[in-house]
Amino acid sequence: MSGTAIGGWEAIRAEVLRRIRTRQWPPGAMIPTEEDLAAEFGVARATVNRALRDLAGGGVLERRRKSGTRVSALPVRKATLEIPVIRQEVEARGQAHSFRLLVCDERAVPVPVASRLGLAEGARLMWLETLHLADGQPFVFECRWLNPAVLPRPLPDFAAISVNEWLVSQVSYTTGDIAFSAAAADAREADVMGVAPGTALFITERTTRTPDAPITLVRLSHAPGYRVQTAV
């Protein structure tokens, strides 16, 4: 047969996914070529391509020119996390966001930080400590190195607008990386967050850079109970 006429690339994707899930196309197996599938479903090859490309993007399929398309044997599941601004995160929980600027000065960066940011040893950056509150309770303790050399002037009053928010509105859409880990609260964190020293805290670390220079390195210590969750 040729032309069972399923409609839309999402329908194609769904059908392919169904065949994979039912093991009609088991892990590691090759699937028909785009042309064959296009003929079977009665659509253009571009439509099949769209569906298969989407599945490949999700790690379900592996595609190689000339070889063809195979079902991933050991699927590397890909989850996409949304990383909102802290204020949005708090407000999404239905709580009121506020923050307190605890420290804001300029100091020489420690060697590990300098090397991680690709700066010369002994470079000086701004150092900001901000405590974010949800309904008045400590939510996140934000410690940030900030490179004033790459920032637009004038710098605002960071006691009035959160660094976090000012940055995304001013130097948005940059590259960088993000890491999650767990750590015991040190004395400073325990004091600021109002928890016992040694409490397990969820830590988010982000570096942000322009193509030329580092912009910021931030460490967020989240209050106990914090989770980052997403559907797969």
Positions touching a second copy (CB under 8 A) are: 17, 20-21, 27, 59-60, 73-85, 88, 165, 168-169, 172-184, 198-203, 206, 222, 224-232
Which DSSP state fits 193?
Answer: H
Which of a second copy, DNA, none interacts with 202 (beta carbon under 5 to 8 A by kind)? a second copy
Q: Vertex 125, ends 124 and 126: CA angle to 5°?
A: 140
Q: How far apart are CA 12 and CA 54, in angstroms?
A: 11
Q: How far apart are CA 83 and CA 80, in angstroms?
A: 10
Among 26, 9, 38, CA closest to 70: 26
Residue entry with tokens 């570096």: 207
**In terms of C-beta density within 10 A (0-12 exposed, 13-18 middle, 19 or more buried), how is residue 30 classed?**
exposed
Dihedral Cα 18, 13, 81, 160, nearest 10 deg: -140
Shortest Å, Cβ 102 to a second copy: 22
Q: How far apart are CA 202 and CA 198, in angstroms?
A: 12
Stretch touching DNA by CB under 7 A, among 47-55, 84-92, 122-130, 138-146: 47-55
Helix (H) or strand (E) holding 88: helix 86-92
Shortest Å, Cβ 209 to DNA: 26
Residue entry with tokens 């599938």: 37
Smaller CB separation from a second copy, 126 or 185: 185
Asked whether 36 and 12 are in contact (CB, 8 A), the reply is no
Shortest Å, Cβ 229 to a second copy: 4
Which of a second copy, DNA, none interacts with 44 (beta carbon under 5 to 8 A by kind)? DNA
Contact set for DNA, span 51-80 (CB under 7 A): 52-53, 56, 63-69
Smaller CB separation from DNA, 66 or 227: 66
Smaller CB separation from DNA, 14 or 96: 14
Which of a second copy, DNA, none interacts with 4 (beta carbon under 5 to 8 A by kind)? none
- List the x/- string, 13-42, binding to DNA by CB under 7 A: --------------------xxx------x
Size of the site for DNA (CB under 7 A): 26
Helix (H) or strand (E) holding 103: strand 97-108
Which of DNA, a second copy, none interacts with 49 (beta carbon under 5 to 8 A by kind)? DNA
Q: Which residues sit at the interface with DNA, rule CB under 7 A?
A: 7-11, 33-35, 42-47, 49-50, 52-53, 56, 63-69
